[in-house]
Structure 1
Amino acid sequence: MGDFNAKIGAGRTSNYVGQWGLGERNERGDMLENFAEINRMVLLNTQFQLHPRHLYTWKSPKDKPGKIVRNQIDYIMINQRYRNSCTYVKAYPGADIRSDHNPILGEFKLRLKRIKRKREQTWDMRKLKDPIIKKKVGESLNQRIKIKPHLEVEKEMKLLQETVIEIKKEHLARDTRKKKSWMTDEILALMDKRRQNKAIRDEYQRIHKEIRRKIRTAKDEEKKEKCQEIEELQRMHDDFNVHRKVKEVAGLVKKGTGGKLTDRDGRIIINLEEKKAEWKEYIETLFHDTRPEEPLELSDGSGPTILADEVRAAIKQLKQGKAAGPDQILSEFFKLFDDISIKWITQIFNRIYDTGKLPKDWLKSEFITLPKKPCAKQCKDYRTISLMSHLLKLFLKIIHNQP
């Protein structure tokens, strides 16, 4: 936008110049059109049919009532891609702006593209409560696990991770049709059948009543399952998860809302990399240890061999329904191991225990943030929770249980 001292003139000469210009073209007008064509820009002043008094932008000192000398030499140019965003552009003669040029005003209506964030795929672990699916998942998992004594531990862990992901895709993918947690395949099939019999009133009413009866039964079954989960948590004296489940059943769980993150100076951080840097600095400061390092007393490195029975006992102690760590392997899959798979994981743990080399995923953890108060803005207003590998949890539980 500016004073180009170029007269484009009336008439369309290209896709970048409209047909409603003013006056006759001069040499600088040709130069301006070439510039617009090279840079794929549209001269908006020439795109709208208006009265000449809303087209001219400069009045010559020689302008008289009998001899009008008024030219269009100021323009607003915009990238051709955004041409449709402009609804009108016109000059305003007589504006008190202490200039011999008339101001040009334009109205734009931006159409911002809504970018959908790519959601991480989630899995329906509640399907494992179905005995048939649980049996299929267990058989598929144990068939794919093979003992390879000469394979590196890191590669073994990678193969297990890939196997679990494949099984999740095959058996535990979420059904997008099931908007309600109590929805079953039987109810969905009846709904399809009801839709097909819409023209037959009696049959439609019969299926409709059956659907309502099935829905009531499904809701009651879901409530019964949740109550059994609460009773099991009470038996284990897990008060935290008891209260969480009670709130879930009562519908008191609020959906998390992503707040704005600000730095120490109160400046809002928008860039993702800047957010990561802010969190990194905060966590490093939070966990910084100023205590002097104490010398470690190293033993000869020998220790009791991990037994398969110890692995079985530790697996039984693992809690279910916990968020996965970086490797995305959940404890629910360990509980499906047969004797051969138990033997395989026992050998892996013994090799790790003897060599002292931990898999890379065991050395990483993911932090998730939970706001301590409404409208949390700074890092200190959040509580951080670390998610670690469930395999590491199992390994540590075995070591801890040893005499």
Structure 2
Amino acid sequence: MEDVRTKRGADIASDHHLFVANLRLKLKKNWTSGQTALQRFNTAFLRDTDKLSEFKIALNNMFQALQDPLKEEETTMEDNWKSIKEAIISTSQEVLALKKHHHKEWSSIETLDRIKERKNKKTVINNSRTRAEKVQAQAEYIEANKEVKKSTGADKQKCVEELASMAERAAREGNMKQLYDTTKKLAGKYSKPDRSVKDKEGRPITEIQQQKNRWVKYFEELLNRPAPMNPPNIEAAHTDLPIDVNPPTTEEIRIAVRQIKNGKAVGPDNIPAEALKSDIEATTNMLYLLFKKIWDEEQVPMDWKEGHLVKIPKKRYLSKCENFRGITLLSIPGKVFNRVLLNQMKDAVDGQLRDQQAGFRKDRSCTDQIATLRIIIEQSVEWNSSLYINFIDYEKAFDSVDRRTLWKLLRHYGVPEKIVNSYNGLQCKVVHRGQLTDAFQ
């Protein structure tokens, strides 16, 4: 320890003084191994008209330079994607920069003035030469400190009321993202503790790499359940549904880009939806050339086949992997392509589904089924008759679906083979403590 000093001028309404010292230490660097998760771009800048205009001009210039190379027959689909990705990423880095979390100051100017006045009173105490001067200065300091606390409390109350009003308005408007963000601010900062992870035998794992391996093993087993013992014989339809198998048109791509929601988490390519929607015409023209290559080669870019799996706590005992559910973050441009496919096939496929299926269908819900069940129960109670109801809840139902059977079902419904062949070899990486694990199928 070298050059120790006290700074009596620093004031925090305490009888302690600020202590400053120079230390000479040898610290071991904690090296981060493996690939780290991506930092997001500050898309909030695109709400500003000037920034939006600057972004559109820069993006258009990039796309103009790519027009001729993308149209060449020698370029592959992967080459086209890398060029488009580089154009969007470099423009975002130049105009938007990375997202930073700024703490919004809630103290008013009046409070800051009172804090400054209290600090001056503290200086008077330190400079007092007689006991009488010091007693009088301390009395004035106590009064100044009361005013600071009163003003600080009023500022904090005003800030909380503004956040509460913002949350109420977001709830009325159905803006769930703003409601959630505002609620987090009201609840205060919460730092996640570094929890250990338990292996299959219930033993805690503290080493980071072993924890990452445990998460990979868990999700790999969860998402790749053994095939059914007696798989059903699902034959492909003799005739395909009336689904257009020609390359997507610019109008179809334009509609799909507009349907992508803002504010969604980005995938491994780090391309936000706001960047694609900043200039829909330019984006549509670029994606048209890319989608045409995808259609011809019946393959999607490798970036679209990778997802970042984020763990979300589901219930108690968070040291157990089973008490988390995973959400996979996929490429936003890949979602645009998926939306094009969905728009092409949804009307034709919807006619093949049973009328009894109400869940997971557009403009349908389970309200009628719930009402029917309630009427049955009420009639049973009214007439004092026996009623037996069997509810089946499959554990991890969607995670444990056999993928090979899914592909067979698509062909059974008559979905053209060209669409089914587009997605093969998908893989995931788990995000654990800001790092990415190894990929798994």
TM-score interval for Structure 1 and Structure 2 normalised by the shorter chain: 0.5 to 0.7
| CA contact 1:153–1:352 (8 Å) conserved in 2 | yes
Report the 3-state secondary structure (helix = DSSP H, G, I; strand = E; otherwise coil) of the residue aligned with 2:342. Answer: helix
Q: Matched residue pairs, number?
A: 254
Aligned residue among 285, 290, 303 for 2:245: 303
State the Cα distance separating 1:351 from its structure 2 match.
Answer: 2.5
Instruction: Write the deviation string for residues 158-210 of structure 1: whole angstroms up to 9, x where unpaired.
Output: 1222223222321222487x732579xxxxxxxxxxxxxxxxxxxxxxxxxxx
Tell me the equivalent position of 2:292.
Answer: 350
The correspondence of residues 220-299 of structure 1 with structure 2, limited to 5 A, is 227=166, 231=170, 241=177, 243-248=179-184, 250-251=186-187, 254-289=190-225, 290-291=227-228, 292=231, 294-297=234-237
Match of 1:330 among 272, 277, 293: 272
Q: For residues 340 and 271 of structure 1, do their structure 2 counterparts lie closer, same or farther at Cα, with a shift above 3 Å needed? A: same
Select 1:113's aligned residue among 17, 23, 28: 28
Query: Quick one: which amino acid aligns to residue 139 of structure 1?
Result: I
1:180 matched to 2:103 = yes
| Rg larger for | 1
* 1:279 shift after superposition: 1.6
2-side partners of 1:175 and 1:331: how far apart?
15
Which of 79, 83, 93 matches 1:155?
79
Q: Secondary structure at the match of 1:366?
A: strand
* Cα distance, 1:114 vs structure 2: 5.0
- Matching residue of 1:142: 60
Q: In structure 2, what is the equivalent of residue 49 of structure 1? A: none
Given that 2:167 and 2:182 are in contact with CA atoms closer than 8 Å, whether structure 1 keeps it comes out as no
For residues 110-154 of structure 1, the C-alpha deviation after alignment (integer angstroms, 9 at most, x for no partner) is 965252758854432222221111111121112111222122111
Mapped to 2, the partners of 1:299 and 1:355 lie a distance apart of 23
SS in 1 for 2:333: helix
Gaps (5+ residues) in structure 2?
A: 1-24, 107-154, 348-441
**Mapped contact 1:310–1:398 kept (Cα < 8 A):** yes
CA contact (8 A) 2:77 2:297 kept: no
Cα distance in 2 between the residues matched to 1:267 and 1:228: 42
1:58 corresponds to which residue? none
Contact 2:254 2:280 in 1 (8 A): no
- What corresponds to 1:397 in structure 2? 339
Aligned AA (1:149): K
Secondary structure of 1:167's partner?
Answer: helix
Deviation at 1:374, TM superposition (A): 5.8
Displacement of 1:262 after TM fit? 1.7
Give distance in 2, aligned partners of 1:298 and 1:228.
Answer: 54
| Contact in 1 for aligned 2:167/2:179 (Cα 8 Å) | no
Q: What SS class does the counterpart of residue 365 from structure 1 fall into?
A: strand
Equivalent residue letter for 1:264: K
| 1:336 CA displacement | 1.7
Offset of residue 278 of structure 1 = 1.5
Shift in CA distance, 122/262, structure 1 to aligned 2, threshold 3 Å: same
Aligned residues of 2:41 and 2:96 also touching (Cα < 8 A): yes
1:18-57 superposed matches below 5 A: none
Q: Structure 1 157/255 Cα, relative in aligned 2: closer, same or farther at 3 Å? A: farther
> Secondary structure of the equivalent of 2:327?
strand
- Counterpart CA distance in 2 for 1:321 and 1:288 is 31
3-state SS, counterpart of residue 383 of structure 1: strand
Superposition deviation, residue 307 in structure 1: 1.8
Match of 1:171 among 67, 87, 95: 95
- Report deviation, 1:303: 1.3
Shift of residue 310 of structure 1? 1.7
SS across alignment from 2:290? helix
Q: Is the 8 A contact 2:254 2:281 kept in 1?
A: no
TM-score, normalized by length of structure 1? 0.54
In the superposition, the TM-score normalised over structure 2's length comes to 0.49
Higher share of residues assigned helix: 2
